[in-house]
Amino acid sequence: MKKLDGKVAVVTGAAMGNGEGIARVLSAHGASVALWDISDRVFETAESLSAEGGKSSSYKVDVTKFEECRQAAAKILSDKGKIDILVNNAGVVRLANFLEMSDEIRDFHFNVNIKGTWNVTKAVLPNMIYNNYGRIVILSSVTGPIVADEGETAYATTKAALWGFGKALAREVAKNGITVNSICPGYIMTPMADQIARESDPGNPDSVIKGIASGVPLGRLGNIKEVGDLVAFLSSDESSYITGTQVVIDGGSTLPETVSVGV
């Protein structure tokens, strides 16, 4: 028997990157996974999971709009009868120095990273409270709460805010048998990381990735399956006595007191 057999999970931002990796791992552990994303690619990802023998469904959802979140949650409850696991993964990043950042780009971060997490959680949580059971996992970041680089003020602010949201919510719903934990990834090889590398050095993006890896004590970037494995643990009954925490998965990149990256 797999550790997530019989569980119903919602994963946001599941079309690609960390969200896709998380959805695949949860599915491999037996969960029925509902993939949410604003991109049409979410349908292709869900079909791929089903073709591999997983139980998956796909929903095109804009997490900045509560009504879309509510309707998607209602459809899952109608089809599956419950939601046991929520993974708030949907997030965006646009680099710009503070004084050069437009209000539109600032609000884009706030609306997706903070308001999106708020909306999805508010749509799913009532059923968890009703069932007196739930696992909520929030994808924060090492960026903001622990470290930061130039151009990350909006992104860092939102990811730090998710720490506070997770802690406060964990305290509020502990009496309902629900755990809430945050994951703080460091450098993970995702389409977003690839995009940043290509923007940094269009002629040789691999050199950017190698430069980043040289500053990670384990000598490489993480992969989306490793993030998924951690989410699966926090989504299972193996973690039943863990709540209100922040778990860093960064290959040790936040360990060095002095580091030179990208040289």
3-class DSSP assignment, residue 106:
helix
Nearby residues of 4 by Cβ (< 8 Å), 6 or more positions away:
26, 29, 30, 31, 85, 232, 235, 236
State how far Cα 6 lies from the chain centre: 22
Residue 174's identity, in one-letter code, is A
Task: Supply 198's token pair.
Answer: 């290509």
Chain centroid, CA 131 distance in Å: 24
- Which are the catalytic amino acids? 155
Q: Are the CB atoms for 246 and 149 separated by under 8 Å?
A: no
Rounded CA separation 262/117 (Å): 32
Cα–Cα distance measured from residue 81 to residue 241, given in angstroms and rounded to the nearest whole number: 26
Element (H, E) at 25: helix 17-28
- Other Cβ atoms less than 10 A from the Cβ of 147: the count is 15
- The backbone torsions φ and ψ at residue 188, rounded to the nearest 5 degrees and listed phi first, read -120, 135
Q: How open is the CA angle 54-64-41, to the nearest 5 degrees?
A: 35
CA–CA gap between residue 89 and residue 231 (Å, rounded): 10
Report the alpha-carbon distance of residue 217 to residue 255 in Å, rounded: 8
